[in-house]
Amino acid sequence: MIYFDNVSKLYSDGRSAALQEVTFQVAPNEFVSIVGHSGAGKTTLLKMIIAEDQPSHGKVFFESLDVHQIPRAKLPHYRRKIGTVFQDFKLLPNKTAYENVAFAMEANGRSDEEIAENVPQALALVDLEDKVWHFPHELSGGEKQRVAIARAIVNQPDIIIADEPTGNLDPIATYEIVQILRKINELGTTVIMTTHNKGVIDEIDRRVITMDNGKIVRDDTKGKYVL
Amino acid sequence: MLTGIRRVFKSGLVGFWRSAYVSLASVFVLTISLFVIGATMFLDQLLTVSLQTLQSKVDINVYFVPEAPQEEISRLQTALEALPDVESVSFTSREESLEIYRERNQGDEIAMQALEELNENPLGATLAIQAKETSQYEQIAQFLEEQQAQESPNAPVIDEVNYNRNRESIDKLTSIIDAVEQAGFLILVILLLASVLITFNTIRLAIYTAREEISIMRLVGAGNMFIRGPFMLQGVMYGLLAAFLAVLLFYPLLLWLAPGTEAFFEFNLLDYYTANIVYIFLVLAGIGIVLGLVSSALAIARYLRV
Reference A194, options A206, A179, A210, A205; nearest CA is: A210
The answer to whether the Cβ–Cβ distance between A107 and B222 falls below 8 Å is yes
Instruction: Establish whether this prediction's ipTM goes over 0.85.
Output: no
DSSP B124: P
In a domain, A144, yes or no: yes
Which tops the pLDDT comparison, B61 or A169?
A169
Q: How far apart are CA A164 and CA A35, in angstroms?
A: 10
Question: Which of B14, B212, B223 faces A76 most closely, judged by CB atoms?
Answer: B223
Pick from A60, A10, A12, A16: nearest CA to A161: A60
Classified by CATH at the fold level, domain B66-156 comes out as Alpha-Beta Plaits (3.30.70)
Starting at the edge strand found earlier in the chain, the sheet holding B126-131 runs: B86-92, B126-131, B60-64, B158-161
pLDDT at site B152: 65
How many structural domains compose chain A? 1
CB contact under 8 A, B219 and A84: yes
Residue A226: CB partners within 8 Å, gap ≥ 6? Answer: A210, A218
What does each of the 306 residues of chain B score in pLDDT, given as a tens digit? Answer: 778 888 888 888 888 888 888 889 889 989 988 898 888 888 878 777 777 777 676 777 888 887 777 877 888 788 888 888 788 888 888 788 888 877 887 777 887 787 777 777 777 888 888 777 767 777 787 787 777 777 666 667 777 777 766 667 767 777 877 787 788 788 878 877 887 788 888 888 878 877 888 888 888 888 888 888 888 999 999 999 999 999 999 999 888 888 887 777 777 888 888 888 999 999 999 999 998 898 888 888 878 764
Task: Give the separation between CA B39 and CA A190, rounded to whole angstroms.
Answer: 64
Rounded to whole angstroms, the Cα distance separating A91 from A113 reads 23
- How many A×B Cβ pairs under 8 Å? 55
Has residue A147 been placed in a domain? yes
- pLDDT at position A225: 67
Q: How does B134-148 read in b/e, with b if 16+ C-beta sit within 10 Å?
A: bbbbbebbebbeebb
Chain A positions contacting chain B at CB under 8 Å are 50-52, 72, 75-80, 84, 90-94, 103-104, 106-109, 111-112, 151, 155
Taking the C-alpha atoms of residue B24 and residue B173, their distance in angstroms, rounded to an integer, is 46
Residues of A in contact with B22 (CB under 8 A): none
- Give the span between the Cα atoms of A17 and A4, in whole angstroms: 16
A 10 A CB-CB count for B266 gives: 11
Q: How far is residue A32's CA from residue A49's CA, in Å, rounded to a whole number? A: 14
Predicted pLDDT of residue B306: 44
Asked if residues A137 and A93 have their Cβ atoms less than 8 Å apart, the reply is yes
Which residues 6+ apart lie within 8 Å of B81 measured at CB?
Answer: B88, B89
User: How far is it between the farthest Cα atoms of chain B?
Assistant: 106
- Look at residues B188, B258, B193 and name the one whose alpha carbon lies nearest to residue B44: B188
A10 found inside a domain: no
**Nearest alpha carbon to residue A46 among A180, A164, A150:** A164
* Structural domain includes residue A62: no
Q: How far apart are CA B305 and CA B181, in angstroms?
A: 45
Q: How are strands ordered across the β-sheet holding A31-35?
A: A82-86, A159-163, A190-195, A31-35, A208-212, A215-220
> A112 lies in which domain range?
29-51+80-220
Contact A106 B19 (CB under 8 A): no
Q: pLDDT tens digits for A116-156?
A: 999 999 999 899 999 999 999 999 999 999 999 999 999 89
- Report if residue A2 sits inside a domain: no
Mean pLDDT of A8-23: 85
Cα B55 to Cα B36: distance, rounded to the nearest angstrom = 28
The secondary structure element, H or E, covering residue B273 is helix B269-275
B220 closest CB neighbour out of A75, A93, A104: A104
Mutate to test the interface with A, among B23, B216, B218, B227 (most CBs of A within 10 A): B216
In A, which residues are within 8 Å of B212 by CB distance? Answer: 90
**Domain-located, residue A70:** no
* Contact between chains at A103 and B15 (C-beta distance less than 8 A): no
Looking from the CA of B277 toward its CB, the CA atoms found within 13 Å total 13
Q: What is the pLDDT of residues A178-204, one digit of tens each?
A: 999 999 999 999 999 999 888 888 888
CATH code for the domain of A100: 3.40.50.300
Q: Which of A92, A107, A111 sits opposite B221 (nearest CB)?
A: A107
Structural domain includes residue A73:
no
Whole-structure pTM over 0.80, yes or no?
no
Please name the amino acid found at residue B113: Q
Contacts of B97 (CB under 8 A, 6+ apart): B121, B123, B124, B125, B126
What are the boundaries of each domain within chain B? 2-54+175-304, 66-156
Instruction: Kindly list the distances between the CA atom of residue B132 and the CA atoms of A17, B84, B94, B176, in Å, as whole numbers in the listed order.
Output: 78, 9, 27, 16
Question: Could you give the C-alpha distances from B192 to A63, B30, B77, B178, B292, in angstroms and in order?
Answer: 56, 12, 47, 21, 15
Residue B88 three-state SS = strand
Quick check: A94 and B221 CB within 8 A? no
| E strand intervals along B150-303 | 158-161
Averaged pLDDT, A69-96 = 89
Tell me, yes or no, whether A57 lies in a domain.
Answer: no
